[in-house]
Amino acid sequence: MKNNKQGMDGEKIYQQRFGRHLDELRWLYMELYDNGSMFAELCDRMERFYTERKDELKSADLERESHKDWYQQKCMLGMMFYIDNFAGNMQGVKARLDYLEKCNVNYIHMMPFLDTPEGRSDGGYAVSDFRKVQEKLGTMEDLEDLTAACHKKGIHVCMDFVMNHTSEDHEWARKARQGEGEYMSRYFFYDSREIPDQYEKTVPQVFPTTAPGNFTWLPDAGHYVMTTFYPYQWDLNYRNPRVFNEMMYNFLYLANRGIDIIRIDAVPYIWKELHTSCRNLKQVHTIVRMMRMISEIVCPGVLLLGEVVMEPKKVVPYFGTVEKPECHMLYNVTTMATTWHTVATRDVRLLKKQLDIVNSLPKEYTFLNYLRCHDDIGWGLDYGTLLEEGMEERSHKQYLNDYFQGYAGASNSRGELYNADPVTGDARFCGTTASMCGIEKARTEHGAVEAEKAGTKHGAVEAEKCGTKHGAGALEKAVRLDIMLHAYMFMQSGIPVLYSGDEVGQVNDYTYKEDPTKAADSRYLHRGKMDWALAENISNYDTVAGKLFQGLSQLEQIRKKEKVFVSNADAWTVETGERAVLCMGRYLDGDKVIGLFNFSEYDKKVILNQVNGKYVDMLSGEERELGEIVIPAYGYYYFKEK
Ligand code: GLC
């Protein structure tokens, strides 16, 4: 093996990393599988993946091992997109890297791009081959070429590792379907309803309306198979060490293509046990901890991002402990949902409480912050606290869904329900940030959409001009809310991730209804094609795209520059006495920043008793005393102490 800059040969480095984790890894593996020869095979393959790993990636591993907080820096800003919607294919993404740089983005999450059957793909979350890129998007070589090009520009690449299930078209599934016992044992097969019925008693449903039940009958095979998500997504059985080993080889194979961040999809679901909810079982943590050790041995520069869309007390254990970490990063999902609750109620109390919970966690825990992603928004709020304020869960969820559809309250939002469950009365919500902030409504009601459709590629500019005075006011207000929400999100500790198109105010895309393979899944409403015509307007401040892009850019520049925005700075909230205004503080090494965010459409005055002294408005550069201060409707301030 080659020498590296530290003068130690690669073999030695590997053995050191391996030695550091061997005892614990063996212990956990044997506890779960009690299978020494499979463990030996795993160790052998790990070393082979290390040997095959490219020198550039190994150097990055060493660099990151010596700066363990490399991803907690203030400059981190992510963007997520579907490759085809964003740029056609992988080569197209490469050609758009300059645009991403303009967006200040240095982390891209490319939505699932591995082989998946057309029309039975769940947005790519049904993988039929973990070693093959979807033909329309490119090849494995294109992927390696793209990750290398990203790395040259300092852009990190995130991909999904869909490990809970495979597509029914996966080779294993096809063999299982034909009755090959070894392959059947990689899934959950039952020849009668007996066991499936027992599971159904305790396992909740993920897609109660679009894919009810947790099992699918396969008439040709004469068996039921467990399908927690869609019927074509077959749950893998991690009781079988062959499944664990093979999936780890896939994981390492993908890491070696130059992936920096691996998003472990639907991770709470990977272990199943009769008479339980089949969520968050302790074996899930054993598996994630093993994954963490395996990646620390083979590719320590790779981060694990856990997708745990659950309440805080279920999310936090996925960080593991400081001594025995599991995921590097998790979604700040409750904060995200609570943010929209705050938009609908103009009452920051619950959000303040939620931020206090997050701020009290160890600083090593890094959250991915976002306003929305490719999935629906589930109303997972702290209903215990809301009940104390007289808000009952079912009726409040109903209110939020009505509000964001634009039916209730002083709402300008547009969007659609997702998986409305007639039995529980539960429903989740879909919409882009711009639509939920009122940009879509402000345009539609003033004929702007028609103008945009009829117009040239600069139609958007015309469209905005053709609005009435009132229309312009509504649009202005919506843009203010949109930027304020980003300003508030950028103040949180962790890594902010934008959904592509949100930076230019892209609205809902209703065309999914015309595609029979998508029509039943309203999440496609907010997964539209990137509208590059909007992006042409980013320098034109007279357009919504320009206002948003420049507003966000100004905040992103501040965030990149000021040290208080590193993830492990002190962060806290301050009581403002005004329900619609949230006050957040950050402190690091003598620098202090205070943020004020007005969640209402009216100007609000606050008196900050706990914050006084001289401050500089970080956006305008003006100096001022804090104390009594008016925050304009849907406005915000970033103040830095002098
Ligand atoms: C995750 C994905 C979601 C997908 C599901 C099943 O929750 O975010 O889009 O439907 O996993 O793979």
pLDDT tens per residue across span 52-105? 999 999 999 999 999 999 999 888 999 999 999 999 999 999 999 999 999 999
416 lines ligand 1 (CB under 6 A): no
450 lines ligand 1 (CB under 6 A): no
pLDDT at residue 572, as a whole number = 97
Q: Is residue 285 part of a domain?
A: yes
pLDDT at residue 9, as a whole number = 86
If asked whether residues 182 and 215 sit together in one domain, one would say: yes
If asked whether residues 20 and 54 sit together in one domain, one would say: yes
Query: Measuring from atom 9 of ligand 1, which residue has the nearest CA?
Result: 375
Q: Is residue 634 part of a domain?
A: no
Looking from the CA of residue 164, the nearest atom of ligand 1 is 12
375 lines ligand 1 (CB under 6 A): yes
If asked whether residues 192 and 260 sit together in one domain, one would say: no
C-beta of residue 26 within 8 angstroms of C-beta of residue 34: no
For 577, residues 6+ apart whose C-beta sits below 8 A from its C-beta are 606, 607
229 lines ligand 1 (CB under 6 A): yes
For 373, residues 6+ apart whose C-beta sits below 8 A from its C-beta are 80, 331, 497, 499
In terms of DSSP bridges, do strands 623-625 and 614-617 run parallel, antiparallel, or are they unpaired?
antiparallel
Contacts of residues 225-229 at CB distance under 8 Å and 24 or more positions apart, as own/partner, are 225/176, 225/187, 225/188, 225/189, 225/190, 226/187, 226/188, 226/196, 226/199, 226/272, 227/165, 228/164, 228/165, 228/203, 228/269, 228/278, 229/122, 229/125, 229/164, 229/165, 229/266
C-beta of residue 494 within 8 angstroms of C-beta of residue 366: yes
Ligand 1: centre distance to CA 616 (Å): 44
Ligand 1: centre distance to CA 99 (Å): 28
Q: Tell which one of 214, 333, 375 to mutate to probe ligand 1, the residue whose CB is within 8 A of the most ligand atoms.
A: 375
Q: Is residue 595 part of a domain?
A: no
C-alpha 545/C-alpha 542 separation (Å) is 9
Query: Domain of 180: which CATH number?
Result: 3.90.400.10
pLDDT at residue 446, as a whole number = 60
Following DSSP, what letter does each residue of 260-279 receive, concatenated?
Answer: SEEEETTGGGS---TTS-SS
Q: Is residue 400 part of a domain?
A: no
If asked whether residues 258 and 324 sit together in one domain, one would say: yes
If asked whether residues 221 and 182 sit together in one domain, one would say: yes
Ligand 1: centre distance to CA 576 (Å): 38
C-alpha 207/C-alpha 188 separation (Å) is 19
Q: Which of 338, 337, 325, 333 is nearest to 365 (CA)?
A: 325
If asked whether residues 258 and 230 sit together in one domain, one would say: no
Burial 47-60, CB ≥16 within 10 A → b, else e: bebbeebeeebbeb
State pTM to two decimals. 0.94
Q: Is residue 165 part of a domain?
A: no
pLDDT along the chain (642 residues), means of 10: 56 97 98 98 98 97 96 93 98 98 98 97 97 98 98 98 98 98 98 98 92 96 98 98 98 98 98 98 98 98 97 94 95 98 98 97 94 97 95 95 94 96 88 98 70 41 50 90 98 97 98 96 97 97 97 97 95 96 97 97 92 91 92 98 94
Which one of 331, 357, 377 terminates a domain?
Answer: 331
Looking from the CA of residue 125, the nearest atom of ligand 1 is 12
Q: Is residue 134 part of a domain?
A: no
Average of per-residue pLDDT values in the chain? 94
pLDDT at residue 458, as a whole number = 41
DSSP symbol at 406: T
C-alpha 279/C-alpha 117 separation (Å) is 27
Ligand 1: centre distance to CA 112 (Å): 10
266 lines ligand 1 (CB under 6 A): yes
Residue 190, helix vs strand vs coil: strand
If asked whether residues 25 and 4 sit together in one domain, one would say: yes
Ligand 1: centre distance to CA 121 (Å): 11
pLDDT at residue 86, as a whole number = 98
Looking from the CA of residue 373, the nearest atom of ligand 1 is 8
If asked whether residues 321 and 250 sit together in one domain, one would say: yes
* Number of domains comprising the chain: 2
Q: Is residue 186 part of a domain?
A: yes
Query: Measuring from atom 4 of ligand 1, which residue has the nearest CA?
Result: 125
265 lines ligand 1 (CB under 6 A): yes
If asked whether residues 282 and 214 sit together in one domain, one would say: no
210 lines ligand 1 (CB under 6 A): no
Question: In whole angstroms, how large is the CA radius of gyration of the chain?
Answer: 25
Give me the domain span that covers residue 189.
171-235
376 lines ligand 1 (CB under 6 A): no
If asked whether residues 177 and 221 sit together in one domain, one would say: yes
pLDDT tens per residue across span 250-268? 999 999 999 999 999 999 9
If asked whether residues 228 and 192 sit together in one domain, one would say: yes
If asked whether residues 252 and 314 sit together in one domain, one would say: yes
Q: Is residue 1 part of a domain?
A: yes
Ligand 1: centre distance to CA 230 (Å): 10
Q: Which of 269, 307, 290 is nearest to 188 (CA)?
A: 269
